Amino acid sequence: MNRDRLLIVDDEADIALILKLQLEDVGYKTVRARDGIEALEHIDKEKFALILLDIKMPRMDGMQVLARVRQDYPDTGVVMMTAHGNEDIAVEAMKNGAIDYIAKPFSTDDLVKKVERAIQFHRTRQDNLRLSLQLEAERQKMGAILRGMADILVAVDSEGRIITVNRQAELLFGMEQEKLLGTPVEDILKADIPPERLPCRVVLATSAPDLDVSYNILWGKKSIPVLSSATPLLDGSLHLCGSVEIIHDISTLKALEQEREDFVSMLSHDLKSPITAIVGSLDLVREKRLGPVNKDQQEFLESAIESCSEMVDMIDTLLDIHKFDAGKMVMDFKEEEPHLLIEKIVNRFRPVAERADLNLFASINEPLPTVKVDRTKFSRLLSNLLSNALKFTPENGEIEIAAIVVKASAEMKKRIPEQIFPGRELTGKNKFLQISVRDTGVGIPKEALLSIFDRFEQVKTRRMGKTAGSGLGLTFCRKVMDAHHGYIWAESVEGKGSTFFLLFPLD
């Protein structure tokens, strides 16, 4: 049963009684007010679903009551009641906020239907108003977020005309949003790329996101480097209706990158030059050109020269990693005889191994095909691995370099850590030259095998070796293998040694 409360405002008692009986008969609860002032008192005390308000009453007529209700109680709906022939006044009341009107005399069916319809209409209107207020609050909240964004936001319609920008865009373009609306985006967003390649335009042409695009915004005499991404705007039917582009100013990052370039340049010149002078001076002393040198002095001189060489190697490694990262490393690929390169490297390190009481040898038991490599990078790659093996292998240990031809297999795929080479796939058609560097040293913890190729990464057990390194040697090795489209990984058992595997593609 309907339990909505209705307020009947009519100075004629008999009409008010008829309304009361008819409405309560269908389930409504009613309260009567004899005039406008009494009606306002009731409204102030309790809430009603609807007010049935007579137009002509003593003390305060219906139009005055309607005005007060609209002003002070906007959540309350009003239906006007008027005598036949006064419909014009009722229509005027509807213009002022009444939901409907009922002309006297009225039938029960007409009355009930109009009351039900008025209550439903008013509730729907209130729901819409509430949703509208919520939407406006969300819109203002989103506007505040967009205004507070550090990045530049530009949204365009399906024709590429600007439909909104944020505060950062206004500051960049020197214009308020109202002046930008409706302007073709390329008229405002001047860039060093063609207009059709602007990410927001690409999205309109492809209906797909266009992410992480680098270009320069040209504004006056300024050129601003940016990183931009654009995504589609879809309507309620999921049809493309525009795109929104977020533009990130990377001027600071570019400045930091330039500082890094300057720092690397300083390393290559300001550090290597004095080290070269130091080595030259030490050589003069070692060669006894400045006087006799005893055995102990000779050993210290050799140690000092070796340390200087290690420092130069570290600087060269850092420089080369920087070149790889910047895409400026020049590679000279040629067909090489791998066994000759390996023998040359082993012969160079054999005296060092003998002084450390280590057995260094190469195991090549089959003819090897030529492989396309950069000879210099290949040699430094193996030299880094041998240097590590020498550092972390105790006396009377052994170090072996082996080389064989292998074919891709499921077993090999399992051995290559997927985390190091995500998205790279081996197929049964792939043939590789596999070079391994095995030592009987301290080994590498299992949990560190995936991170040893990261920059400046040093494993705890490896730091306990003879000499601490820079943590860049294995990073350089990884960069070299990437440049050769090959693979590198390590297998190890703590306390028993490690083996580094290299796969150079032969296909």
Cβ-contact 483, 331 below 8 angstroms: yes
Residue 423's pLDDT is 64
Strand (E) or helix (H) holding 242: strand 240-249
Number of domains present in the structure of the chain? 4
Full residue range of the structural domain in which residue 290 is found = 254-325
- The pLDDT value given to residue 461: 47
Q: Which of 221, 249, 277 is the last residue of a domain?
A: 249
- 426 shares a domain with 349: yes
* CA-to-CA separations, 468 to 23, 305, 406, 490, in angstroms, rounded: 95, 17, 34, 19
Place of tokens 């009494």: 38
Q: Is 6 exposed, middle or buried (0-12, 13-18, 19+ CB in 10 A)?
A: buried
Note the pLDDT of residue 224: 86
Q: What local confidence, expressed as pLDDT, does residue 466 receive?
A: 46
**CATH code of the domain covering residue 175:** 3.30.450.20
User: Do 83 and 192 reside in the same domain of the chain?
Assistant: no
> What is the pLDDT at residue 463?
45
H helices present in 362-470, as ranges:
375-391, 410-415, 460-463
Q: Same domain, yes or no, for 295 and 205?
A: no
- CATH number for the domain harbouring residue 80: 3.40.50.2300
Q: Let me know whether 125 and 207 are in one domain.
A: no
> Which of 325, 342, 373 lies at the terminal end of a domain, its last residue?
325
Q: Are residues 180 and 240 in the same domain?
A: yes
Q: What is the pLDDT of residue 355?
A: 87
Same domain as 338, residue 282: no
Residue 191 DSSP label: B
Domain C-terminal end among 129, 162, 192:
129
Strands 371-374 and 333-336: antiparallel
Residue 275, Cβ neighbours under 10 Å: how many? Answer: 15
140, part of any domain: no
If asked whether residues 321 and 347 sit together in one domain, one would say: no
CA 307, 308, 314, 320 torsion: positive or negative?
Answer: negative
The pLDDT tens digits along the chain (507 residues) read 457 889 988 888 888 888 888 888 888 888 999 888 998 999 888 888 889 888 888 888 888 888 888 888 888 888 888 876 667 777 788 888 888 888 877 787 888 888 888 888 888 888 888 887 777 777 676 666 556 566 888 899 999 999 988 888 888 888 888 888 899 999 888 898 999 999 999 999 999 999 989 999 887 778 888 899 999 988 878 889 999 999 988 888 877 777 777 776 676 667 777 887 888 888 888 888 888 888 888 888 888 887 887 777 777 777 777 777 777 788 899 999 999 999 999 998 998 899 889 999 999 888 899 999 999 999 989 998 998 899 889 999 999 999 999 988 888 888 888 777 776 777 657 889 999 999 999 888 888 888 888 765 555 544 444 444 556 788 888 999 989 989 999 999 888 899 999 999 987
CATH code of the domain covering residue 451: 3.30.565.10
pTM score of the predicted model:
0.50
Answer yes or no: do 487 and 341 share one domain. Answer: yes
pLDDT recorded at residue 459? 56
User: What does the pLDDT read at residue 360?
Assistant: 93
* In-domain check, residue 20: yes
398 in the same domain as 291? no
